[in-house]
Structure 1
């Protein structure tokens, strides 16, 4: 039996902060108490460190299969655990697109061999694969992904009949990317008429506009209300969209929930001058007022979850002219440290951080026995030193793409240990190849 005893950690969990010991036995949290002794357990002395539940990232793009020149499950899962993310849910716009149950299983087979973090994969929806979508098992797949805006390959779902059928019949959570394609095309045509192909990154939030986001998000909410669907709207990027969501009921009973991403809480359109295409995402990073509005909605409960939309590309790809440069960037390794900087700035509490990155994600997706520090739960845990600075440098970036929009930034906090299903997989800057991640299961 494997036994680890974490001593005198400052635990942040379920709106409380307290000092306690935690005993892990065979991957599970067996006991939490002020003073635990065990004759054979390996002890980790955590005085002065904070113990948090591991982050659960409900939106990543690890690019495997088909795009492994820029990322893969092996590299990105290791970047995740180094950053305190112990579980991830990965998107279907790989190559080929994950549009059949067979292709979905292929990704699970890869992760079972390669992932150091726990994992789940979305089933992708298209205009012509409804039968495959409806065969998805809610108990062992995180959700159905619907791109109501641009996507890779055959994944733009713009047929109204198909949308009605998905929202009316999906057996599980529907996660949506919401940007209105017609509005974006009109905006792009207008800017090209003025500037030809000499468009620049500062035009990105004007082309992929706040209006495009609101039109699409409001349509998704309308469909969900009509059909009683379980809807989760991803990467809210505008203050206006936050008004579509309520905060007056317990999360477990909400039928419509929403997510914010690190880049929309950190950057604004003023940062394009320095960062350029490195912060080109879809939906676009928008104004400082939008950033403030999204954070406000996170804090008051209209937005339920914080994630990354980790989506690496090579530096060569991102260095192309604006129109050719792909959208997306690596974030999973530094998400927790970015949020801890927001804590140090007084913008959110540690309790709120844990709620939005672990508790609420587990509740939204009905994940079995993860996301909380509780006896009888899996030991997905992280220890952080809140007062040990950490500078992002090329040499310490683990994502396969080898760059980060945070490169050169010094965070105020450092992740010291990460446990995945009870295995210590990261310690003091070193990845430890101990065990592997597990497939997430869901109480549905």
Structure 2
């Protein structure tokens, strides 16, 4: 495959991107396509081409809760959003807390995804540290819950927590407010790399910054909803919909998160895509929202208003996640890396419409939000998995997604 007339971040002039055997073979100014006439040639039409987005934090609800989402529907929504790799959390049914359950989950998901994927393993309140030792190179991290969330995975025994941290190469933690400090202290004692999921408070950012300044190997994640929404967005009509863990915070916390992105304190954007059907959300208090298909297009709004630039966007949405979790050959638009690309039309600032939603949840908290740009093609290892065609229709191509490898 050859992508011609591509604008990229590191070049003043349009380039051609040649993908061969699923890898980026060459990026240069070459425009002689005669020798490639038997290959598929994609015209980017002078739109930006960036490395495919990596979403390190998703809940695809598969297995056990597939009426809300499954690997097929969720990965399709990911492809629509320019995401070429996602990492799935362990609070499914059954919880992914034994090696046997992880193997079973991997087997069940094979062949179902439109894009590449990986799995987080789960820490258990009954102490599964021996299982964690066995699967270190088969999962992205150990996910530990220090606050209650969907699924019965809250761990409160400090001795068990210490053992789980010690057994893990990297711990991804659901920790809110004071629990961020607790997680940081345990990680410091055990020497474990720590990944703080969905930070939402200015005070949590301060804790992260101090930990980084002390030399700890620690990383922080922000979600689109904690960046773009706050308590001022809640009204009588949507008060049941805009509930998640952690909850929405104040505008001052939005501002702290954006400052932390710009100064490098926040490392990644994870969607925490946690879909529930609209009926479920309206019937009773249910935590979690869908967001995977619009994260990039929302973040592009902040490129448009010069809060961040495309270079920083691709760093926090692609490159850093690959480096933190050791995902091989992903996250950078570079020769030798996987041919994972998103082509984006920065001139398309259309509204997000409910009738276009791909996820099974069939709703979004961002309806009527204007995009900062539109994903017009998603390419996975040199294969088109999504394109937005000239008739304004979404077209998908399945059968290409594979599990990622870690180094």
Tell me: CA distance 1:177–1:249, structure 2 relative to 1, closer, same or farther (3 Å). Answer: closer
Counterpart of 1:173 (choices 162, 170, 177) is 170
> Which residue in 2 is equivalent to 1:399?
359
| Alignment partner, residue 97 of structure 1 | 95
Q: Does structure 1 retain, via aligned residues, the 8 Å contact 2:149–2:245?
A: no
Of 426-435 and 380-389, more deviation after overlay is shown by: 426-435
> Map of 1:262-411 to 2, 5 A cutoff?
262-273=224-235, 275-320=238-283, 324-411=284-371
SS state of the match for residue 303, structure 2? helix
- Indicate conservation of the 8 Å contact 2:81/2:293, yes or no: yes
How many residues were matched structurally?
Answer: 398
Following superposition, the deviation at residue 393 of structure 1 comes to 1.9
Say whether 1:139 aligns with 2:101. no
Change (3 A) 1:353 1:18: farther
State the TM-score, normalizing by the size of structure 2.
0.93
Maintained 8 Å contact 2:133/2:167:
no
SS in 2 for 1:257: strand
Within 5 A, what are the aligned runs for 1:3-42?
4-12=1-9, 19-36=14-31, 37=33, 38-42=36-40
Please state if 1:431 is matched with 2:395: yes
Change in CA separation of 1:132 and 1:421 when aligned onto 2, cut-off 3 Å: farther
Distance 1:82 1:74 in 2: 12
1:168-212 per-residue CA deviation (whole Å, 9 max, x = no partner) reads 232x21000003xxxxxxxxxxxxxxxxxxxxxxxxxxxxxxxxx
Residues 247 and 301 in structure 1, CA contact (< 8 A), matched pair in contact too = no
Does the CA-based 8 Å contact 1:56-1:371 persist in structure 2? yes
Shift of 1:18: 5.2
Distance in 2, matches of 1:106 and 1:424, equals 29
Gaps in structure 2 of 5+ consecutive residues? none
CA contact (8 A) 2:299 2:313 kept: yes
Distance 1:305 1:101, change over 3 A: same
Shift of 1:435: 3.3
Who is 1:225 aligned against?
188
Deviation at 1:40, TM superposition (A): 1.7
Residue matched to 1:58: 56
CA contact (8 A) 2:148 2:154 kept: yes
**Distance in 1 between residues matched to 2:282 and 2:310, nearest whole Å:** 36
Q: In proportion to residue count, which structure has more helix?
A: 1
Post-superposition shift, 1:19? 2.6
Q: Contact 2:129/2:163 (CA < 8 Å) preserved in 1?
A: no
8 A Cα contact 2:211 2:218, kept in partner: no
Q: Please, which runs of 5 or more residues in structure 1 have no aligned partner? A: 180-212
- 1:276-330 Cα deviation digits (max 9, x unpaired): 222211001100001100111111111111110000001011113xxx3211111
In structure 1, what is the Cα distance between the partners aligned to 2:268 and 2:134?
A: 24
Tell me how far apart the structure 2 counterparts of residues 246 and 441 of structure 1 sit (CA, whole Å): 30
Look up the SS of the partner of 2:258 in the other structure: helix
Q: Tell me the equivalent position of 1:120.
A: 118
Deviation at residue 47 of structure 1 after TM alignment = 2.6
Q: Using the alignment, how far apart are the partners of 2:131 and 2:198 within structure 1?
A: 22
